[in-house]
């Protein structure tokens, strides 16, 4: 999926990703940056930064490590389709590519969500700033989807 090509930010969206979410700190705190990719097979890849971090690479390269080699979870096809259907029903594919909070909302800090979704031949490539419509609810729904399939803590 080709998203964010003209943004000047290298997010590393895998080609087979049907859903991609990167959370990039709105303030200079690159160790908080995280990303997930769900492939067409339901495999959930996860990536995060680690020390040492070259801060001169910001903002163009917000991640200094690849995705972990093994998926952290696998989402069954029916649940993945339901999640993508929920996004569609919420008007996700009609949102502006760069979404900000409403004018009467002031937000300090947080994460910018870079989201790429591919469904039924349509692609949405969005950047949701902290406080933007859908930003919080998307995070909660995504967490529920993935958390239900994480292996038990050891």
pLDDT digits (tens, 9 = 90+) for 84-117: 999 999 999 999 999 988 888 888 888 999 999 9
The whole-angstrom separation of Cα 114 and Cα 125 is 8
Instruction: Confirm whether 11 is domain-assigned.
Output: no
| Structural domains counted in the chain | 1
The reported pLDDT for the residue numbered 34 is: 95
Instruction: Confirm whether 128 is domain-assigned.
Output: yes
Instruction: Confirm whether 3 is domain-assigned.
Output: no
Q: How do residues 16-53 score in pLDDT, each as one tens digit?
A: 999 999 999 877 777 889 999 999 999 999 999 888 87
Instruction: Confirm whether 46 is domain-assigned.
Output: yes
Instruction: Confirm whether 2 is domain-assigned.
Output: no
Q: How confident is the model at residue 1 (pLDDT cuts 50, 70, 90)?
A: low
Helix segments in 90-120, DSSP class H: none
Instruction: Confirm whether 138 is domain-assigned.
Output: yes
What's the chain's Rg over C-alpha atoms?
15
- For position 47, which CATH number holds? 3.30.1560
The first and second tokens of residue 29, run together, are: 């705190």
The reported pLDDT for the residue numbered 6 is: 83
Instruction: Confirm whether 77 is domain-assigned.
Output: yes
The first and second tokens of residue 47, run together, are: 């990536």
How many alpha carbons fall within 13 Å on the CB side of residue 50? 5
Q: Beta-carbon neighbour count of residue 43 at 10 Å?
A: 15
Q: Provide the residue range defining the domain that includes 47.
A: 17-147
The first and second tokens of residue 23, run together, are: 């959370």
Residue 128, pLDDT above cutoff 80: yes
The reported pLDDT for the residue numbered 5 is: 81
């Amino acid at each position: 999926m080709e998203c964010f090509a003209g943004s000047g930010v290298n997010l590393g969206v895998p080609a087979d990703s049907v859903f991609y979410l990167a959370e990039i700190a709105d303030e200079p705190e690159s160790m908080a940056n995280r990303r997930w990719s769900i492939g067409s097979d339901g495999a959930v890849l996860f990536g995060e930064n680690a020390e040492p971090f070259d801060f001169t690479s910001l903002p163009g390269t917000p991640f200094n490590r690849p995705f972990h080699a093994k998926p952290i979870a696998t989402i069954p096809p029916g649940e993945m389709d339901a999640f993508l259907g929920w996004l569609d029903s919420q008007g996700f594919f009609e949102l502006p590519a760069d979404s900000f909070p409403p004018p009467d909302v002031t937000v300090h800090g947080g994460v910018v969500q870079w989201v790429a979704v591919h469904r039924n031949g349509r692609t949405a490539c969005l950047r949701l700033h902290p406080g933007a419509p859908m930003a919080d609810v998307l995070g909660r729904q995504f967490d529920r989807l993935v958390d239900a399939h994480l292996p038990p803590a050891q």
